Amino acid sequence: MTRKAITRPAPADPVQRRAEELDALDAILPFDRRDQLATLLTDDDVATLKHLANQGMGDNTLRALASDLGYLEAWCGLATGAPLPWPAPESLLLKFVAHHLWDPVERAEDPNHGMPADVEAGLRVRGLLRADGPHAPDTVRRRLTSWSILTRWRGLTGAFTAPSLKSALRLAVRASARPRQRKSKKAVTGDILAKLLATCAGNRLVDIRDRALLLTAFASGGRRRSEVAALRVEDLIDEESVHTDPANPNSPPLPCLTISFGRTKTTTADDDEHVVLIGRPVIALKHWLAEARIDTGPVFRRIDQWGNIDRRALTPQSVNFILKARVKQAGLDPEMFSAHGLRSGYLTEAANRGIPLPEAMQQSLHKSVTQAASYYNNAERKNGRAARLVI
């Protein structure tokens, strides 16, 4: 007797149907946002995200696009009473800028200036708006960029290069006068790193993991939290040991390995980017892998309260939570540090130790000399003579 395949009927509720379709992207989209996105996005939105995933778009980029798309759909519904149109007219783009970049002084005199109160209240109820005041200009630019990318992927052309939009952005940024916020208020330099490592000097699995994570993230050039979370055993390549003093062949040997990266924020799939780890970070990393009995798949994983190791990788958010938890244990203020402090801290420490900028950039994989040099400029100003004319 032949068994008939059982076909599960599609849910009648469109929100439930979209939620189940978003399940296919559960490795990319955070599960706790699946239901929220299902209510915010349209069927076409979900189809576009699935198409982008099939085209091999990077996980972080797709996650940001999904988040921005959900926000745009919610804002447009509240601001216009209609779904997000494709392509968006120039007037809607200008309205988006006016609602998010406004002058606090003007707002104090005219309550109608900026985002309308009902739109703001609706976004807050949905948990999409938390901060008071105008948005950060970088956030507005990023969402406009996401909007533009999604428009192009639909085969449409928007008004994102219109002179009126560029002019409105420039004037609104000047009017909002919002200072640029650092991703981490303080850098995790060598002295801070030593304090964090002291908090995970024990022999518990969580201590061994966090010690390896902090050393690897810092010594590999200050890796982004997404890169730390995505690191896999297959990315680690053992190399021949190197001498402690490269100029002295009789100096003690140190273990060495390379970490190979695929697509990152500043690279393409064709780039063969890698960094080198030498000495203590290699020892810590191999100790963690041995104790956790990990020989394939994600390197850094969640450990539950009973000491069981999950098969899945830590999320980028978890990497940030781990750093903040260690900061608090070290008696420092968690509000002053984030995972990005490892990246800025690496370059700051390199500058303090007199390592040439090009050499440090080989390890950090920065593409922008201007951005990387900003950390060096700060260090040189503090250590230089120009600020010491009167002391």
Can you give the pLDDT at residue 118? 93
**Quick one: pLDDT at residue 4?**
39
| pLDDT value of position 31 | 47
Long-range contacts formed by 304-312: CB under 8 A, 24+ apart:
307/204, 307/205, 309/205
What was the pLDDT predicted at 136? 83
What is the distance between the alpha carbons of residues 318 and 324, in angstroms, rounded to a whole number?
10
pLDDT digits (tens, 9 = 90+) for 106-158: 777 788 888 999 999 999 998 888 878 888 888 888 999 999 989 988 888 88
Report the SS3 class of residue 176: helix
Taking the C-alpha atoms of residue 175 and residue 167, their distance in angstroms, rounded to an integer, is: 12
Distances in whole angstroms, Cα of residue 385 to Cα of each of 85, 250, 381: 58, 39, 8
CB atoms within 10 A of CB 186: 18
CB 238 within 8 A of CB 257: yes
H helix runs in the chain, sequence order: 14-22, 34-40, 43-54, 59-80, 90-100, 104-109, 117-125, 137-153, 163-176, 190-199, 205-219, 225-230, 280-292, 316-329, 340-352, 357-364, 369-383
User: What is the pTM for the complete model shown?
Assistant: 0.58
Per-residue confidence (pLDDT) for residue 8, from 0 to 100: 40
CA dihedral over 64, 338, 225, 263, signed as positive or negative = positive
pLDDT of residue 5: 37
**Residue 3, pLDDT score:** 36
pLDDT score of 17: 58
Contacts of 92 (CB under 8 A, 6+ apart): 76, 80, 85
pLDDT at site 317: 87
Q: What is the pLDDT of residues 181-223, one digit of tens each?
A: 556 678 899 999 999 999 999 899 999 999 999 999 999 998 9
Q: Which long-range contacts (CB under 8 A, 24 or more apart) does 359-362 make?
A: 360/221, 362/275
Q: What is the DSSP letter of 339?
A: T
Six token digits for residue 155: 């085969």
Domain boundaries 190-384, CATH class: mainly alpha
Query: β-pairing, 236-243 with 309-313?
Result: unpaired
Collect the ranges in the chain with pLDDT lower than 50. 1-10, 27-28, 31, 264-265, 267-270
**Beta carbons within 10 angstroms of residue 252's beta carbon:** 10
Alpha-carbon torsion angle 125, 128, 131, 137, nearest 10: -150
Q: Where in the chain is the domain with CATH 1.10.443.10?
A: 190-384
Residue 262 pLDDT? 61
